[in-house]
Amino acid sequence: MSIVTGVILVTFLNDGSMDDDTYENVEALNRWLVETRGRPCDQLVRVDQHAGGGKRLQCDVWMAAFNMLDEDAFIKAVGAINWVHEDCVQLMLQGDGEDLFRVMNIDQIRSHKS
């Protein structure tokens, strides 16, 4: 059985990192995903560099689709990250069979109840 959850995570540029080539906060979230799901392929992938137009987006955008994702645990994991620019964090989830993504800011993420 397949129950797919689409995930889009938007963060400030290089949030939590000291240079342009590392993404410490998202890397921590990806480590959590691999540890809890046991599948190296279950990680968020940065996609903002594929956007069109002549300018760079002023944010980092990460995406993934997960089978059988524990959404409550994932939301808590996102909320547990020490985001440097937490006001820029947006989490979007689209559950299996849902037409729209649910959008959450950091306050909604951290106050989320299972």
pLDDT at 95: 95
| Backbone angle region of 50, left / alpha / beta, with phi > 0 → left and psi within -120 to 50 → alpha | alpha
Q: Global pTM?
A: 0.94
On the 0-12 / 13-18 / 19+ scale of CB atoms within 10 A, 66 is: buried
User: What sign does the CA torsion over 22, 26, 39, 50 have?
Assistant: negative
pLDDT at 101: 98
Mean pLDDT, 10 residues at a time, the chain of 114 residues: 94 81 90 94 94 92 97 97 96 96 97 88
Domain count, the chain: 1
Q: Could you list the residue range(s) of the whole structural domain that residue 98 is in?
A: 4-110
